[in-house]
Amino acid sequence: MAKEPIKVLVVDDHPIVRRGLITEINLDREMLVIGEATDGLEAIAQYQELKPDVVLMDIIMPNMDGIQATKHIINSNPDARILILTSYVDEEKILEAVKAGALGFIYKDKHPDEVLAAIRDVANEVPVLAPTITRKLMRDSRTKKSESLENELTDRELEVLKRVAQGIPYKEIALHMDVREATIRAHVSNILGKLYLSNRSQLVLYAVEHHLLDN
């Protein structure tokens, strides 16, 4: 049986950019653009109607920008996978988008193959983040507590955290641990709460900074 293509929603207010992205994505046999939007408001409506696997989201758009749209989508759909694609170089804005729940970002000047690779990563729930954003996000995610917060996790939760941080999809983690995918998602929700983190991107970065992947 043929593998289902990655369903992508493209959100950008520039018709030429949007058309170019759609063309490149549809040339890849593993992907399919199922919708397009010109601003954040349209993106929210299209997401609810189409339920894409990945949203490729611009930041600067009229009516509602990509950051606000990301917040709205994630609030209603915590497992939504959003990749920020932007020419905007203000790292604080990009950081804001990641904090809102985007799984990563990539600049528009990257080669199309890099954009497609980023879409694949995000589809598999693997964050796509530059080192500078990683460092800033982790600094902002630290709490005032001095003790090691991962000590508050159960052995099961710690195992899930490590596997998520390694970029393993929830479905594969569930198969390996012989539980339902819904159980893994519940574990992730509990981990986020215990570690005072907001989303999966911050969870991955927490694991890296605290050397939880070293053993």
Residues 193 and 115 in one domain: no
Does residue 1 belong to any structural domain of this protein? no
Residues 105 and 168 in one domain: no
State whether 153 and 121 are in the same domain: no
pTM of the predicted model as reported, rounded to 2 decimal places: 0.73
pLDDT at 87: 81
The pLDDT value given to residue 106: 87
Q: Which of 86-100, 132-146, 176-190 has the highest mean pLDDT?
A: 176-190
86 and 57 together in one domain = yes
- Reported confidence tier of residue 193, pLDDT bands at 50, 70, 90: confident
Query: Considering its fold, how many domains does the chain have in total?
Result: 2
Question: With pLDDT > 90 as the criterion, what percentage of the chain qualifies?
Answer: 46
CA distance 76 to 215: 36
User: What are the phi and psi torsion angles at 6 (to 5°)?
Assistant: -75, 120
Q: Which residues constitute the domain of residue 204?
A: 142-209
Please classify residue 150 by burial: count the beta carbons closer than 10 Å to its beta carbon, then call 0-12 exposed, 13-18 middle and 19+ buried.
middle
The answer to whether residues 81 and 159 belong to one domain is no
Residues 92, 157: one domain?
no
Over the stretch 108-152, which tens digit does the pLDDT of each residue have?
888 999 999 999 989 988 778 765 565 565 555 554 343 455 568
Does one domain contain both 13 and 101? yes
Mean predicted confidence (pLDDT) in 149-160: 81
Q: Which of 128, 160, 181 is where one domain is finished?
A: 128
